[in-house]
């Protein structure tokens, strides 16, 4: 069961990375539960948005791919306990050095992001 869950979570995170990198809103939206709020800070400025506001922001900006960046996003670690999991990710892009903590839950046999926390580290 663990191996199956880890593979499913890795696939979800790959979709998450590709959605962000390519600006693929459909792929990115499929990763999130509909009631997610995203909390973080960007250079010390607080950030709080609903998943819909977040997706609109991704949609309206140039994607890292459009700006000729290389996809350097990676999984640092995943911790699974039953139907919940935490993922720590390194998400460098658009001149920022982001780290994400994603809370995941298995809902109707699909893993979904139910919370996203992030920060920019210099």
d(CA 110, CA 105): 8
* Cα 52 from Cα 34, distance rounded (Å): 8
Q: 58 with 23: CB under 8 angstroms?
A: yes
Convert the pLDDT of each residue in 97-108 to its tens digit. 999 999 999 999
pLDDT tens track for 20-68:
999 999 999 999 999 999 999 998 899 999 999 999 999 999 999 999 9
What is the pTM assigned to this prediction? Answer: 0.95
Structure confidence by residue, pLDDT tens digits, 74-119: 999 999 999 999 999 999 999 999 999 999 999 999 999 999 999 9
Burial of 17 (0-12, 13-18, 19+ CB in 10 A): buried
* pLDDT at residue 122 in the model: 84
Can you tell me which residue has the tokens 């996809």? 71
């Amino acid at each position: 069961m663990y191996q199956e869950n880890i593979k499913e979570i890795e696939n979800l995170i790959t979709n998450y990375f590709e959605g962000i990198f390519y600006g693929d809103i459909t792929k990115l939206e499929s990763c999130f539960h509909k009631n997610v709020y995203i909390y973080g800070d960007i250079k010390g400025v607080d950030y709080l948005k609903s998943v819909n506001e977040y997706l609109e922001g991704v949609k309206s900006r140039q994607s890292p791919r459009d700006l000729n960046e290389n996809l350097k996003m990676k999984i640092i670690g995943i911790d699974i306990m039953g139907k919940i999991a935490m993922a720590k990710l390194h998400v460098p892009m658009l001149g920022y050095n982001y780290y994400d903590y994603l809370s995941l839950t298995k809902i109707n046999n699909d893993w979904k992001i139910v919370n996203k926390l992030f920060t920019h580290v210099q």
